[in-house]
Amino acid sequence: DQQVKQNSPSLSVQEGRISILNCDYTNSMFDYFLWYKKYPAEGPTFLISISSIKDKNEDGRFTVFLNKSAKHLSLHIVPSQPGDSAVYFCAASASGANNLFFGTGTRLTVIP
């Protein structure tokens, strides 16, 4: 039972344009959400997070939006750069629990 879902396995975007990666979750107890980025042969690295008390968090070119009523979050990257090409994982956790629940990832390719 996949509690965090990333329905797009891959996404291709032109350099300089916006990349939008989507994530849906089913567990209403989740109240903290993270995005991780993974390059080949490396472990996932933390990118950005958002608490359920917010609906937006921005860090440079990266912005995460949270829609609690729709149980949906998205990661916006603008402008996209070739170095952003990687697999992006969405993850969620519930208050008081250490475990993260991950999505299956979206492979982003930024075309120069």
Partner 1 sequence: DAMVIQNPRYQVTQFGKPVTLSCSQTLNHNVMYWYQQKSSQAPKLLFHYYDKDFNNEADTPDNFQSRRPNTSFCFLDIRSPGLGDAAMYLCATSREASGSLSGRNEQFFGPGTRLTVL
Q: Please give the residue ranges that form the binding site for partner 1 (CB under 8 A).
A: 2, 4, 9, 32, 34, 36, 41-46, 49, 51, 89, 93-105
Identity of the residue, 78 or 97, whose beta carbon is nearer to partner 1 in the bound complex:
97
Identity of the residue, 46 or 78, whose beta carbon is nearer to partner 1 in the bound complex:
46
Structure tokens at 16: 């300089």
Identity of the residue, 14 or 28, whose beta carbon is nearer to partner 1 in the bound complex:
28
Structure tokens at 81: 């750069």
Any idea which residue has 């879902």 for tokens?
5
Structure tokens at 10: 């891959």
Q: Which amino acid belongs to residue 10?
A: S
